[in-house]
Structure 1
Amino acid sequence: MNPVKRQILLITVIAAAIMELIDTSIVNVALNYMSGNLGATLEDTSWVITSYAIANVIIIPMTSFLVNNLGRRNYYIGSIILFTICSFMCGNATNIWELVAFRFMQGLGGGALLSVSATVVYELFPKEKQATASALFGIGVFIGPTIGPTLGGYITENYSWPWIFYINVPIGIATAILCYFLLFEPAVKPKANSIDWLGIILLTIGIGSLQTVLERGETDDWFSAGYIVFLSILAVVSLSIFVWWELVTPNPVVNLRILRSRSLSIAAVLTFITGIGMYTSIYLTPVVAQRLLGFTPTQSGELLLPGSIIAVLALIVTGKLLQKGVSPALIVLFGFLCFIYFNWAMSGINMDTPGSSISLNLIFRAIGMALLTVPLGTLAVSSLEPKDMPQGTALNNMMRQLGGSFGISVINTYVARRVASHRTDMISNISAFNTETTNRINTYTHAFQQKGASLLDAHQKALQLLEKVVVKQSSFSSYLDAYLLIGLFFVVVLPLLLFVAKRDKKRALVIPSSDH
């Protein structure tokens, strides 16, 4: 391939990966608009995020299997077309569950855009420049979810929320056309295996049931709802049989045997926690900024921009450090410390905290992500045989997406419980004998009287306003607790880095050559 075609293909596949990853977070700042426009509750609308994540979690570990059986070129271009068509249909959705269904199918198409794109990027670079390839692709992995809210906020505020999906259509068409002419099959074609239909079905049922339980449990009072009990049992049974079957079948859709590698197992856990931090912070911050601090969607997205710019530089530095032989575990340690600081700092903000302070906190989050994205992938495959690397990187990618999906569900449940707890605590301090309460009610009453309300009406409105203040402050405190909980997740798993075997310094740094 001549240099010009090589550069065009490189830009094309990275753009496809960024497009897929942007869609993991671009809807976050538009949830309120979707909810009102489609006549759905915010809890139902959150399925727009979750369904996409579930589809990614299901399809990513199957990517290696699908590439082997369908051919990389066919699978990749077909996935781009599916993603593009479903993006258009999402924009045309007339009710929330139609939108959720097309988002799920969009996520199925998006899985290949992440995994196969990485494979092509690695193949376009010689072995001695694989760290550069990792850094380039890492920029896409990081920038996608980060600029999503900024782009989504601008589009939602200046146009309308369907355009956050329509924007994918021209990019998808251009990407599909370019890949049709430029994308090649690997030099050594993998052998096609028999289709593990049972594994595919068990994985789909298990993950889908588990995610439904996590998402709907709090809304429907957990196990008091019959369908929650049924789906919980179904998830446990399906996933248990799935693990057993994948370990005994000769051609598994997900090769779980490679988890015997300690580095991969530990990297998978750390990547899962990273996914929780990555996606929940992108989910929580716009919600807090818009609902409680009064930011517009555009302003909410702009909070993330300074961190995005700095993170690109940090990713380049990370690639250089890896190329010079710095231990991935050491870089991951600093990444975790940045994330812990970010969550601790965000748990201490108040209603008067300026946007500049929140942006500063988000810079630490961005640097943390930059220090984790590439090294965790390197750590995951550092002790695998070359033939096992595609499945190892696929499992690691799955854990990141699963962490994000799991994290958003858990945080929603946790926040709902903490709101009730904080509200109870605040109400217990409100009484007619409390001087501060009396003064505030009198101030509100006087303000309403000045606007023409009678004393009785003014007093009633003052009590209603006080209730709104209590609800708002309870919600705000709950979100701050959520940041602390996320930080705690990072603290708890940090000791796992001590169990990662020290790399043999005489051995060349292993970079994954594929990412199916």
Structure 2
Amino acid sequence: MARPEQQKGTSVAAMLPNTAQTYDTGLRKIIITLTVIVSAMLELIDTTIVNVAITQISGNLGASIEDVSWVVTSYAIANVIVIPLSGFLGNLLGRRNYYIGSILLFTLASLFCGLATDIWALVFFRFIQGLGGGALLPTSQAILYETYRPEERGKATGIFSMGLVLGPTIGPLLGGYLVDYLSWEWCFFVNIPVGLLAAWSSFTYLREPKGRHAVTTIDWTGIGLLAVGIGSLQFILERGQSKDWFDTPYITIFTFIAVAALLAFVFWELHTKEPAVDLRVLARSKNLAIAAVLTFIVGYGLYGSLFVFPVFVQRLLGFTALLTGEVLFPSAMVTGIISLPLGIALQRGVSPKLLMAVGMSAFIFFCFELSQQTMQSGSSNFFWILLVRGVALGFIFIPVTMLAVSGLHGKDIGQATGLNNMVRQLGGSFGIALTNTYITNRMATHRVELLSHLSPYDPAAAERINLLQQAATIRGGLSPAGAETVALKALEGTLTAQSYHLAYMDAFMLIAFLFTVCLPLLLLIRIQKKEPVDLSSAH
């Protein structure tokens, strides 16, 4: 039976025999929806907002760029450790308490990040911020599913998907404004009023779900193996490229630790009675397993392309960080606008496989079109291409998010949302790390290819050098020897820029290829129509 305070402003729907689930309606439902979306976006915005402030942080704190990169790395490591544990910790502490506590921890850590006067203090508080923020994404998703009736799940997924795409895209734009007009500290201070408001709203309007699975024992072994394994893997992905991967001994050591710990984690979780992360849910739901693969590729494509595009337009086309954010923003807005209608369409019976096929095909087209851009491209050249990206992500995110929890009941939904969000985060990390490595290798290959055409005996190359020498002599009044040096440096700059341009184009084609390879997975999806879903224990 519902508690007395639950009866006002709620409706009751039968979920299982002899049980009842209470659903919020009216203003309370709207406030809860806004609260969880804002909380999820706080977490996602902070994955990218600091990226544009790296140089300013380095200068203000007297740290090297390599040291400052730990500000990004520590947050990502903490995130990816906590996300799969969110269901377990919600059961252990109570979902409402865990959620509010995570928001407050994130907000308090944001304050100390902004007040930090030492780079390693900032890295430490950034890690703490990641521990708090990691819970917000999967728990927000589970709360939203529990707030809406089963037949409204498509609408709930559409609403939640807005935050999934808007957050990472808004981050650089907001960070650019704050750094340009205030200071880098405001990349953290901006979280404080929003976080406090979200914590107050959660405290006032959220209720502890009925039927919470009581945790009788704490799986310390599983938690430890997960933290070591996932933490080491994330560290390798974040630092491998800058350290020449396995040419650096400690990268090799951490790779061994990651593989050993993750294999031990999987074995332990499959054989322990009360696992921190119930991996058996993957066996109970083939759709979740397929969704995990698709989500990994989507994360790879989303974060990989979001990594390559700003570097390409800023390094080669001369875009500022602010202009880059402004160019990307309409794409995110398109995704936000279409998310709710797509969710409602799914709710009314539109095939999720059809939507995902359209979305993945559109994303392939988006990557292909980017791979055709030239060094003369301007912001207007990217407008329609990026709008296609926005449409594609909307058509992909919403069905795949629903697919992850289709056919699951009770606490399995909490486990599924945690696993799915972890896989997307790891997909993004792999996307950035492997794309960066791929660009470096392709750049070297293209450089060798272009150099083969630069011979003193090549008439075109000789003419180019001669023109550069003449320009240096006329404009700079240099001697023939000095003019030749300037000409060769200018040619070297052109060669490097062209090599990087070709490498960036190859990176977009690689992402398009991965999406193409994954398209046949859609044929394996099986959706049972009008399947009743129990959300009463989702965390």
TM-score grouping bracket, smaller chain normalisation: over 0.9
Aligned partner of 1:415 in structure 2 is 439
Give the residue type in structure 1 aligned to 2:400: L
1:310 aligned to which of 334, 346, 366: 334
Residue pair 2:353, 2:522 contacting (<8 A) in 1 also:
yes
In 2, Cα distance between equivalents of 1:513 and 1:433: 77
Contact 1:155–1:164 (CA under 8 A) maintained in structure 2: yes
Q: Offset of 1:512 from its aligned partner?
A: 6.5
The one-letter amino acid paired with 1:334 is V
Instruction: For 1:491 and 1:430, locate their aligned partners in 2 and report how far apart those are by CA, in whole Å.
Output: 36
Deviation at residue 90 of structure 1 after TM alignment: 2.9
- Residues 128 and 499 (structure 1), Cα distance of their counterparts in 2 relative to 1, 3 Å cut: closer
| Structure 2 residue 518 is the aligned partner of structure 1 residue 493 | yes
Amino acid at match of 1:452: G
Q: Which amino acid aligns with 1:473?
A: Q
Q: TM-score, normalised by structure 1?
A: 0.93
CA contact (8 A) 1:54 1:405 kept: no
Aligned counterpart, 2:379: 355
Is it true that 1:271 corresponds to 2:295 in the alignment? yes
Taking only aligned residues, the RMSD between alpha carbons, in angstroms, comes to 2.2
Would you say the 8 A contact 1:31–1:45 is kept in 2? yes
Change (3 A) 1:485 1:92: farther
Distance 2:209 2:309 in 1: 42
Task: Classify 1:474/1:240 alpha carbon distance in 2 versus 1 (closer, same or farther; 3 Å).
Answer: same
Question: Which of 10, 20, 42 lines up with 2:33 in the alignment?
Answer: 10
What does residue 20 of structure 2 align with?
Answer: none
1:448 aligned partner: 472
Residue of structure 1 equivalent to 2:204: 181
Correspondence 1:394 to 2:418 = yes
Residue number in structure 1 paired with 2:241: 218
Q: Unmatched 5+ residue regions in structure 1?
A: none
Matched, 1:252 2:275: yes
Q: 1:348 to 1:512 in 2, by over 3 A?
A: farther
1:32 is displaced (CA, Å) by 4.6
Structure 2 residue identity aligned to 1:465: A
Aligned mate of 1:60, from 67, 83, 96: 83
TM-score by length of 2: 0.89
What aligned pairs does 1:26-425 form with structure 2 within 5 A after superposition?
26-34=49-57, 45-94=68-117, 96-260=119-283, 261-425=285-449
- Alpha-carbon offset, residue 148 of structure 1: 1.8
**Aligned-pair CA distance for 1:196:** 0.9
Does residue 471 in structure 1 map to residue 496 in structure 2?
yes
Over 3 Å counting, the alpha-carbon distance change for 1:511 and 1:280 in structure 2 is farther
8 Å CA contact 2:409–2:535 kept in 1: the answer is: no
Amino acid corresponding to residue 481 of structure 1 in structure 2: D
- Give the Cα separation in 1 of the matches to 2:494 and 2:538: 50
- List gaps (5 residues or longer) in structure 2: 1-7, 10-25
Aligned residue among 467, 489, 506 for 1:481: 506
2:353 & 2:73 partners in 1: Cα distance?
Answer: 30
8 A contact 1:394–1:515 mirrored in 2:
no
Q: SS of 1:417's equivalent?
A: helix
> 1:416-436 CA distances to partner (integer Å, 9 max, x unpaired)?
112221222222221211222
Taking only the aligned residue pairs, the percentage that are identical comes to: 48
- Alpha-carbon distance between aligned partners in 2 of 1:381 and 1:202, rounded to the nearest angstrom: 26
Q: Which deviates further from its counterpart, 144-153 or 336-345?
A: 144-153
Q: Please give the alpha-carbon distance, in whole angstroms, between the structure 1 residues aligned to 2:127 and 2:276.
A: 20
Cα offset for 1:120?
Answer: 2.5
Relative to structure 1, is the Cα distance of residues 179 and 382 closer, same or farther in structure 2, using a 3 angstrom cutoff? closer
> For the residues of structure 2 that align with 1:35 and 1:342, how far apart are their CA atoms?
35
Deviations 1:113-145 (A, max 9, x none): 212222222333333333222211121222111
Distance in 2 (CA, whole Å) between partners of 1:190 and 1:276 is: 34
Q: How many residues align?
A: 514
Tell me the SS of whatever aligns to 1:384: coil
